[in-house]
Amino acid sequence: MTSLLPTLNPLDRRLNVLDDNGKLLNSKGKPARIKVAFTELRAKPERTCPIDTQLMFGEDVLVHSEIKGWSLVQAQRDQYVGWLESITLQHDYKPVTHLVSVPRTFLYPEPDLKLPHKGMRSMGTGLVIIGEETKRGTEYKILETGEAVIASHIRPIGEHDTDYVFVAETLMRTPYLWAGTTAFGIDCSGLVKLAMFMCGQNVLRDSDMQAATIGTEIDAGESFENIKRGDLIFWRGHVGIAQGDGLLLHANGNSMDVTSEPLLPAIERIAYLYEKPTGVRRIL
């Protein structure tokens, strides 16, 4: 199999804060944090501009400039650069202590799961926990804002999963969403990014960036016979995760969700519209 994997452009506008002339902007940036469940990042400060990616509650950014209610930021998890609405940011905050470790969870006004919830959070969301309480046998953690979250749905910063494929499998049937990065809606590279983040690995956001940087390229074989569980299979604009046993896990626009399907038939189906895979990378 001949490799056609891309290389990373050192001045890619998605990874660098550039001025209007395409040169690196001399700015250290001001720290801020996402304060809504998730928000969208765009290439231009316009709502009509297509969405590049999403940032979720608790993610830290550096703000480099502001204009008419928009902020140019660089995300600290994956270094993505873009514009988001300034109203989604907070500038006074404490260090994150925990991450949501299940696909989705709810926030309650107090430690009582029978009360109407006050919001939802995705896997990977950063939270600031200041206390704990048990009610009717259920353990809760208390957020700095006073809400309660199920204790078993979160874990301390620094604790990680060890199998990113297993994490990705917990997101099965999550709806496909172009540019999505959360368990409410996710795309192919967003699935890889989130699953690896939960295992302590901060990887780049888009599939072409991942194809250029994650792991080591391998020879998959003419019939993909060398594929192992955890290998990443790349197409132009798409990535899937080898589950082992001849299966492929990916968020895709064909089924419009995160799904598992036989690898070789999937390759043939995708090739009909988007050519054969460009290469395979293995996380060592």
- pLDDT exceeds 60 at position 1: no
Three-state DSSP state, 212: helix
The count of structural domains within the chain is 3
Same domain for 174 and 230, yes or no, is: yes
Same domain for 221 and 116, yes or no, is: no
Same domain for 192 and 274, yes or no, is: yes
Mean pLDDT computed over 271-281: 92
Q: Are 235 and 198 in contact (CB under 8 A)?
A: no
- pLDDT exceeds 90 at position 19: no
Same domain for 107 and 207, yes or no, is: no
- pLDDT exceeds 70 at position 41: yes
Full domain range(s) for residue 114: 98-156
Same domain for 152 and 72, yes or no, is: no
Q: Are 96 and 158 in contact (CB under 8 A)?
A: no
Same domain for 51 and 130, yes or no, is: no
Q: b/e string for 243-259 if b means 16 or more Cβ within 10 A? A: beeeebbbbbeeeebbb
Torsional class of 125: left (φ above 0), alpha (ψ -120 to 50), beta (otherwise) = beta
Question: 274 falls in which pLDDT band (50, 70, 90)?
Answer: confident
- Cα–Cα distance, 101 to 209 (Å, whole number): 25
Domain boundary among 92, 123, 138: 92
Chain segment 222-269, per-residue pLDDT in tens: 999 999 999 999 999 999 999 999 999 999 999 999 999 999 999 999
Mean pLDDT computed over 43-57: 97
Cβ partners under 8 Å of residue 205, min gap 6: 14, 53, 78, 80, 181, 189, 190, 193
Mean pLDDT computed over 61-87: 97
Same domain for 13 and 37, yes or no, is: yes
Q: What is the pLDDT of residue 2?
A: 63
What CATH number has the domain bearing residue 270? 3.90.1720.10
Same domain for 146 and 235, yes or no, is: no
What CATH number has the domain bearing residue 82? 2.30.30.40
Mean pLDDT computed over 16-34: 92
Domain boundary among 156, 175, 193: 156
Half-sphere exposure (Cβ direction) of 95: Cα atoms closer than 13 Å: 4
Three-state DSSP state, 9: coil
Write down the pTM of the prediction. 0.96
Q: What is the pLDDT of residue 272?
A: 86
Chain segment 183-201, per-residue pLDDT in tens: 999 999 999 999 999 999 9
- Give the lowest-confidence range in 15-24, 32-41, 147-156: 15-24
Domain boundary among 156, 175, 199: 156
Same domain for 188 and 263, yes or no, is: yes
Same domain for 264 and 178, yes or no, is: yes
